[in-house]
Amino acid sequence: AQSVSQHNHHVILSEAASLELGCNYSYGGTVNLFWYVQYPGQHLQLLLKYFSGDPLVKGIKGFEAEFIKSKFSFNLRKPSVQWSDTAEYFCAVNAGGSSNTGKLIFGQGTTLQVKP
Amino acid sequence: DGGITQSPKYLFRKEGQNVTLSCEQNLNHDAMYWYRQDPGQGLRLIYYSQIVNDFQKGDIAEGYSVSREKKESFPLTVTSAQKTPTAFYLCASSLPRRTSGNTIYFGEGSWLTVV
């Protein structure tokens, strides 16, 4: 069965610090990978996604993530965080290719707090 | 505007009572989903439907029921068997699975509290 693990449950950073949130998944086949963000009081929004091709994907608001197949990882990064990045971040995976059923499996989420 | 509309945003349920959460989408998506978001556990899938008149149980389907009579609508009924006192419910939709790398889009969510 698929599973997703986010290592950091709560991260506190100062503005301008660099960010890396870990995400590992468990699945033997082709996968689609996603990072979603939920700002306080707002709905879940797609930050970036990987389906195929270049393993380094760039998303909105300066975020990027790198898919490392050998490590089953899809870590989220941002070189310099802002106070407005305070939010909860979710890594998610679904089976790719012909095995895709559409349903996403989510990690437990990481709460990021950026101090001004 | 295109999107996913959930209602009501806040709902209170008495013990022993069934309630229904509405989810409507005008994105022309075939697939729809219901997730429950619990603190520290991320989002867990309750039910999903890939096409009208068809749906499957997710990981935490006990105490819930759904219907999919129309493409744009996927209501979730929380029955008295569901014991979680307070939970946040998210409805989502996506293009058919055959579409390369389907992305799932979410509604704004509904809070349900048992009183």
**Residues B68-90 pLDDT 10s:** 999 999 999 999 878 887 889 99
Flag whether residue A108 sits within 8 Å of chain B, measured between CB atoms. yes
Give me the residue from A32, A42, A106 closest to B42, CB to CB: A106
- In this prediction, what percent of chain A has a pLDDT beyond 90? 72
Distance from CA of B50 to the nearest CA of A (A): 8
What is the DSSP track for A2-54?
Answer: -EEEES-SEEEEETT--EEE-EEEE-SS-EEEEEEEE-TTS--EEEEEE-SS-
Pairing relationship of beta strands A10-14 and A110-115 according to DSSP bridges: parallel
Return the higher-pLDDT residue of B101 and A57.
A57
Distance of alpha carbon B76 from alpha carbon B107, whole angstroms: 14
Residue-wise pLDDT for B4-23, tens only, equals: 999 999 999 888 899 999 99
3-class DSSP state for residue B62? coil
What integer pLDDT is reported at residue A39 of this predicted model? 93
Mean of the pLDDT values across residues A85-106?
83
| Three-state secondary structure call for residue B54 | strand
Which pLDDT band holds residue A80 (cuts at 50, 70, 90)?
very high
Radius of gyration of chain A (CA): 14
Give the model's pLDDT for residue B41: 77
Q: Rounded mean pLDDT of A19-45?
A: 90
Give the pLDDT confidence score for residue B107 in this predicted structure: 93
Backbone angles phi, psi at A113, to 5 degrees: -115, 120
Q: What is the mean pLDDT of residues B25-51?
A: 90
List Cα–Cα distances, B71 to B2, B26, B50, B61, B110, in angstroms. 15, 9, 10, 21, 21
Q: Is the pLDDT of residue A4 over 80?
A: yes
Q: What is the pLDDT of residue B99?
A: 55
**Residue from the list A9, A36, A49 with its beta carbon closest to the beta carbon of B40:** A9
Beta bridge mates, A95: A31
Among candidates B36, B85, B101, which has minimal Cα distance to A67?
A: B101
B61 in reach of chain A (CB within 8 A): no
Tell whether A3 is within 8 A of chain B (Cβ). no
pLDDT over 90 at B38, yes or no: no
What pLDDT, on the 0 to 100 scale, is given for residue B77? 96
Pair B25, B3: CB distance under 8 Å: yes
Contact A34 B103 (CB under 8 A): yes
Percentage of chain A lying above the pLDDT 70 cut:
93
pLDDT score at B42: 84
**Residue, of A2 and A7, whose pLDDT is higher:** A7
pLDDT tens digits along B53-68 = 999 999 999 999 999 9
Whether A14 has its CB under 8 Å from any CB of chain B: the answer is no
**pLDDT value of position B81:** 79
Contact A48, A57 (CB under 8 A): yes
Q: How confident is the model over A36-46, as pLDDT tens digits?
A: 999 988 888 99
Cα→Cα distances B23→B9, B14, B93, B107, Å: 11, 21, 10, 8
